[in-house]
Structures are given as structure tokens and as C-alpha cells.
A and B are shown apart, each in its own frame.
Chain A
């Protein structure tokens, strides 16, 4: 038996499959992605929680009563302002701008680690299992001060990864 540096990472525990995510009420349908930056809520459990509904300035997110309901998004009202990303205690919200350019999508992800990358940094985009899948570039960094200390970084990814990349490593 040889010693591992890290435990094997191939299991599915704690990860939602893309099929499941696409069926969530907080996930936009295919056509909604074409219109502009939209919020994507990968929230799947009936935890009593509703700060996303509270903070959305355009009323695009509804949890209602009881507050164990999964959040639903009215895509017509969402303008991709990213406030919800900063308040979600589960850090499970992202803003996706599928048609950022002809070849790239822009993904806004919450970031609470020490090393806040700078604009222009080239990094590795990671899927929900933390596996590196493509090169990404940091296009925007919104450093938190008042935003509950959750910063936001916007990374451009090859378009085919717009539903895949949810973190970066660099």
C-alpha cells in the first residue's frame, strides 16, 4: 500500500448532476440563457432560508411561504446584478452570461478565499468536482467590502463550458 497525497476525488457525493440542476426552479431554461446575464441558483434542498428573495432589488427571486421552498427565478426581471451571489449562505448562486462574446461565456462566481486574483489573470476553470477542465481568464473582480465580504470574480470560459465551470484554480 502506498501513501496517497490526497484521497480519490472521483465520487459523486455532494455534487448535483447537470440533469438535476437543469430541473431546479432556480435554473433558467435554455432560451433564457441567450438573452443576457442571468442568475443560476443551484439550490436543491428544503432548508428554511430566503435572503436571496429579500436582497434582489428587482424582485426576480421568489421563495414565498414556507421559506423551505426552493427559490424560483423570473428571468425577465433578472438583470444579473449579482447581489444575490454575495448573500447566499450556501454560496450556490452564479450569474451566467452565455453570449459574452461569439466564442466565450462569462461566469460570475462568489469568492471567499485569501488569494483574490487580479483582472487579466489566466487560470484553470474547474467543474463542480474541482477538476480543471479549461483555461479561463479573469475579466472582472468585484472586491467585497460591504457585500458581506463575499467577493465576485467574473471569468470568461469557452462557451461550451458555460454550464460546467463553477470555480477556478490558479
Chain B
């Protein structure tokens, strides 16, 4: 859920909408925001599952330190979604276990 009309903070300036897909689903995103924020606003809180026990993981530290929020972004695995900004047409996918890099990367 997005916060509109905060009692203390000024409203954000108008931001351009971009389209990103998360596991095939298109969600609303605004230019300049991290992927994790757009996902959270769309109520998608599970980012990946762990290799051994297949446990769901998501945002924890929210500033790029803990790597719990990593996903595959435009084919590249283990991208920290809390510090990576959205781009129009971005394809974001969950990683089950450990991500695979494309050959040659």
C-alpha cells in the first residue's frame, strides 16, 4: 500500500510510471524507486526461497546489506532489489535456491 498524504512529509513530486513484471505479473512502479518498494506496494513480499529448506525470504534490512531480498533481474541473478532502481520493461523473477548465471557472464 502506498502512503499518500503524510502529515509531516511533503508530497513527492510527480513521478513517471514505468512497467515492470514480477514473476510474470505486471505491477505499478515509479521511476526512481527500488524494485523492492514497488513489489511491497503491490503486496508482493516473498522474493525468493532458500536452497535447503525452501523457506520464503523478503526484505529485511532494506538498505543493501543483508541480501535477503535478492532476485533475478533481467536475467541476472542475486540482484539486491532494495537498492536497485526500477527501469521500464524490467523482468524480475524469484530465485528458488541458488541463482544461475547465463553462460559467459
Contact = CB atoms under 8 A, between A and B. Distances in A.
Interface of A: 112-114, 116, 149
Across the A-B interface, give the 7 residue pairs with the lowest CB-CB distance, nearest first: A114-B7, A149-B8, A112-B7, A113-B7, A114-B5, A112-B8, A114-B6
Interface in B50-66: none
A113 to B, nearest CB: 6
A117 to B, nearest CB: 13
Contacts of B7: 112-114, 116, 149
Contacts of A113: 7
Interface centre among B5, B6, B7, B8 (most CB of A within 10 A): B7
9 contacts: A112-B7, A112-B8, A113-B7, A114-B5, A114-B6, A114-B7, A116-B7, A149-B7, A149-B8
A149 B9 CA distance: 9
Contacts of B5: 114
Interface residues of B, number: 4
Contacts of A114: 5-7
B1 to A, nearest CB: 14
Contacts of A112: 7-8
Contacts of B8: 112, 149
A114 B8 CA distance: 8
Nearest to A114: B7
A131 B8 CA distance: 25
A113 B5 CA distance: 10
Nearest to B8: A149
Given A114-B6, A116-B7, A149-B7, 5 more contacts: A112-B7, A112-B8, A113-B7, A114-B5, A114-B7
Interface string B1-19: 0000111100000000000
A169 to B, nearest CB: 16
A152 to B, nearest CB: 13
A48 B5 CA distance: 33
A66 to B, nearest CB: 30
Nearest to A151: B7
A170 to B, nearest CB: 15
A112 B8 CA distance: 7
Nearest to A115: B7
A112 B5 CA distance: 12
A114 B4 CA distance: 10
A112 B6 CA distance: 10
A114 B5 CA distance: 7
Nearest to B4: A114
